[in-house]
Structure 1
Amino acid sequence: MARSIVTDTFGDAEKSFDQWRDSYIEKATQVGISDETLKHAMPFLVLDPSIHAQQSNQSEFALNISQYLDRAVTLERVSKGRATFRNQRQILNDIAEAYRVDPQVILAIWGVETDYGRVRGAHSVLTALGNLAHNGHRASFFEAELTTALSIIDGGHVDADAMLGSWAGAMGHGQFMPSSFLNFAVDHDQDGRRDIWSNDPTDGLASIANYLAQHDWHESQPWGIEVQLTDGFDFTQAGPEHRLPTADWNGMGVCTIEGTALPDYGDASVLCPSGATGPAFLVNHNFHVILTYNRAEAYGIAVGYLSDRLAGSRAKITPCPEGLTPLTRGQMAQLQMRLTAAGYDTQGADGFTGPNTRTALRAYQNDIGLIPDGFATLALLNGLAPSA
């Protein structure tokens, strides 16, 4: 009986997917995707339940910043990155000079995204985007990305069967979504194709550099540093959405980890990605540029920290306390619903910690006598009554 239920469920999903695909093909035709491209794409527009399974099980949502950095900035990745820089020095220096972007940050993004080109993804991008567009979180976004992917094939940049990437549709050495490819990929080796997929990383690395340059990267400026906070620090001022002059942070007693005055590179933000008991960072303009590549604060810190290590820094980030564990995405959605029901409106329950959720959580923490650091824990979730 169980097998029959599973089969019926898959059959229903397959029928639903086929209906979506037929409707989507009509829309793609109307916006100018060629019949030839659609013919080559059809074998890849099929149901793949593993795509949604991977979307629902992203382990990084349950990691504190120390655990995340332990995975993203390993000694092996640092060592491999330094060796890669020696091997690719001429290409990286040429690209850095052309786009005025520091080579270490290009290398760091390449390292975090694909382990320096080793893991570029083996999923059909069309299959991934089709499944996420059919029935997934942000379905309309992924449908637009699928149309862009088809336009890239239409433009002769890559064949349908060679358009490979991650389960989320990110492609090539820099893990570009199709829209990022269209807007920022470059033909640096001037062979007539913007090829971010091949074993030769030249176009991929140049495309990363161009992306950062187009988002106003400030060459030779740091992304940020670890800092010390004073007792009684106002955590309502923390978060990437709050930018203040460095002089203001100095005035609040924020200092370098060595206890000296903060270097001034203009307006900056203080981040406490794992709350009041975890490490704190002062992040500058270039960190916010990295966040346009990936909005996760932990990602931005990992790229910045890896770039420092690749440049020769031996600095260690202060570890989080043992047992400090953030909520999973599902638990965070529950917390958002419970906070809203209790009168602390998070303006949605998507499982992501954004400015609205931080503001609501801080208000709740303040009202119950806790440090309002906006860091969600299981104790906070359990302390709130389930929403009706």
Structure 2
Amino acid sequence: MKTHVASLTRRQFGFGMLAGSLAACSASSNAGATPNSGALPPDLLPVPNASYDAWVASFRDRARSRGITDSVLNAGFRNTGFLPGVVTRDRNQTEFSRTLEDYLSIAASDERIAKGRAAFARHSNTLAAVESRYGVDPKIVTAIWGLESFYGERRGNVPVISATSTLAFDGRRGRFFEQQLMAALRILQNGDISADRLTGSWAGAMGHTQFIPTSYQSFAVDFTGDGRRDIWSDDPADSLASTAAYLLRNGWTRGRAWGREAAAGEGGRIIQPQAGGPRFAVTSNFNVIKRYNNSDAYAIGVGHLADRIGGAGPLQTAFPPDANGLTKDDRIALQTRLTARGFDTQGADGVIGPNSKAAIAAFQTSQGLPATGVPSQALLQALR
């Protein structure tokens, strides 16, 4: 779901920092995404809406005037409709204020690293061919794949025409989503995908590495040579190559690292996104990764995950205790002890998300304490 118009980056598309980029976040942080298969939740199924129907009728006239054929319009809008859950999600996006430590706990979790190493090995021939053509580090491409769709496990199964037309009709970002809708119809008209397979996230991001329709038009490539730029296929080749093509066209320099954890006293371009935490020496390729998502945390997440996929170890510099005086080890211990006492945090990753807060509140209630849901050293001691 890459740069789509002018100089816009994907995060200007409007996703919260974690909700979009970490499509398969840890259970305890409770920020997952729609898997590829299975039934959609009821609020992501079409419901009657006369105003939406009138808007679609008007849009069809505009689309025809721009060269979209009636057969494509009929196929594209068949079995689609207004999705109330898309509007709800769009209006209630949370701009997470996660620390870099929390972000990396999710972006480079043990599970994501292990799956990344397996995916890197499984698709080594494809990734080597992609690197040969585009010059982009295959570990970086794999890491982006891991952050965007958990290596293809969570590509989304919401009809893109329904999602983009609902958001265009809703009007909050109507012009932008009408552009996405028009681009989606052009994808159908080009024959890259059939209407029934044109699916993605609730906001129209598609495929293994989550391109939005206008990004697809600008950057997607047919790497397999079958005549279609098929980023929806179980075979990720076109998606991985499209991601590399995107990075190359945005200035990737072959053979240059993204950066690294900086040594004490090291000069150069140094950033420290979290006070008291690790410092990073970054390069121009770090900026190119930010073209994919304009966030230092995202770019560090991609770079660090890529390094871990390649066999590197964890960061050497410890992060400071959080605002509640807890280290990551403390938070993991808290989650582990809560779950052992029957207050399930849905995982122990050290990230205090909605599930962990609910478990804390439930424990506090069981002890006759105010149900704040806030972790603390006193709570940790009470669970010993």
TM-score by length of 2: 0.68
From 206, 210, 217, the equivalent of 1:182 is 217
1:172 aligns with 2:207: yes
Correspondent of 1:41 among 66, 76, 86: 76
Are 1:47 and 1:127, in contact at CA under 8 Å, matched by a contact in 2? yes
Contact 1:279–1:320 under 8 Å retained in 2: no
Among residues 118, 123, 127, which one is paired with 2:153 in the alignment? 118
Q: Separation in 1 of the partners of 2:210 and 2:236?
A: 12
- Cα distance in 1, alignment partners of residues 319 and 87 from structure 2: 33
> Secondary structure at 1:63's aligned position in 2?
coil
SS of match in other structure, 2:251: coil
Unpaired runs of 5+ residues, structure 1, are: 1-10, 227-255, 325-388
For 1:294, the equivalent position in structure 2 comes to 293
> Structure 1 residue 283 and structure 2 residue 282: aligned?
yes
Contact 2:165 2:177 in 1 (8 A): yes
TM-aligned CA deviation for residue 286 of structure 1: 0.9
Query: How many angstroms does 1:134 deviate by?
Result: 1.5
Residue in structure 1 matched with residue 182 of structure 2 by the alignment: 147
Quote how far apart the aligned CAs of 1:44 are: 4.8
Contact kept? 2:276, 2:319, Cα under 8 Å: no
Q: CA 1:13/1:82 → structure 2, altered by over 3 Å: closer, same or farther?
A: same
Q: Which amino acid aligns with 1:322?
A: D
Specify the SS of the correspondent of 1:225.
strand
The code of the aligned residue for 1:26 comes to D
Give 1:11-160 correspondences, 5 Å limit: 14-58=49-93, 61-160=96-195
Distance in 2 (CA, whole Å) between partners of 1:320 and 1:34 is: 59
Give 1:225 shift.
3.0
State how far apart, in whole Å, the 2-side matches of 1:224 and 1:168 are: 32
Q: Secondary structure at the match of 1:61?
A: coil
1:259 is aligned to 264
Q: Deviations over 1:30-64 (max 9, x none)?
A: 11111001001223541111112222444562422
Cα distance in 1 between the residues matched to 2:156 and 2:278: 32
Q: 1:321: which partner in 2? A: 321
Amino acid at match of 2:126: I
Q: Does the Cα contact within 8 Å between 2:270 and 2:279 map onto a contact in 1?
A: no
The Cα of 1:20 is off from its aligned counterpart by 1.9
Q: Residue 308 of structure 2 corresponds to which residue in structure 1?
A: 309
Which SS does the other structure have where 2:96 is aligned? helix
Compute the TM-score of the two structures, normalised by the length of structure 1: 0.67
Partner SS, residue 289 of structure 2? helix
* Alpha-carbon distance between aligned partners in 1 of 2:294 and 2:70, rounded to the nearest angstrom: 36
Contact 1:45/1:130, CA 8 A, preserved across alignment: no
Question: Helix, strand or coil for the counterpart of 1:203?
Answer: helix
One-letter amino acid of the structure 1 residue matched with residue 204 of structure 2:
G
Counterpart of 2:364 in structure 1 is none
The whole-number CA distance in structure 2 between the counterparts of 1:223 and 1:301 is 9
Correspondences of 1:212-291 after superposition (within 5 Å): 212-226=247-261, 256=262, 258-262=263-267, 268=269, 270-272=271-273, 274=274, 276-291=275-290
Distance 1:269 1:54 in 2: 36
Cα distance per residue 1:322-344 (max 9 Å; x no partner):
137xxxxxxxxxxxxxxxxxxxx
- The answer on whether the counterparts of 2:47 and 2:81 sit within 8 Å (CA) in structure 1 is no
Post-superposition Cα deviations, 1:153-175, rounded to whole Å, max 9, x if no partner, equal 00111111100111111111111
Partners of 1:305 and 1:180 lie apart in 2 by: 25
Structure 1 position 192 matched with structure 2 position 193: no
**For 2:312, what is the secondary structure of its paired residue?**
coil
Structure-1 separation of matches of 2:47 and 2:115: 47
Task: Spell out, residue by residue over 1:1-31, the C-alpha distance to the aligned partner (whole angstroms, 9 max, x if none).
Answer: xxxxxxxxxx999233223212211111111
For residues 303 and 93 of structure 2, the distance between their equivalents in structure 1, rounded to whole angstroms, comes to 22
- Within 2, Cα distance between the matches of 1:141 and 1:180? 13
Residues 77-133 of structure 1 deviation map (CA, whole Å, 9 limit, x = unaligned): 111111111111111111111111111001001111111111111111111111111
SS for the counterpart of 1:126 is: helix
The equivalent of 2:372 in structure 1 is: none
Count of residue pairs the alignment pairs up: 279
Please give the secondary structure, in 1, of the residue aligned with 2:78: helix
For residue 278 of structure 1, report the CA deviation from its aligned partner: 4.8
Q: CA 1:12–1:315 in 2, change beyond 3 Å: closer, same or farther?
A: closer
Q: Which residue of 2 aligns with 1:246?
A: none
SS of residue matched to 1:117: coil
Contact 2:137 2:255 in 1 (8 A): yes
Give me the whole-angstrom Cα distance separating, in 1, the residues matched to 2:181 and 2:270. Answer: 35
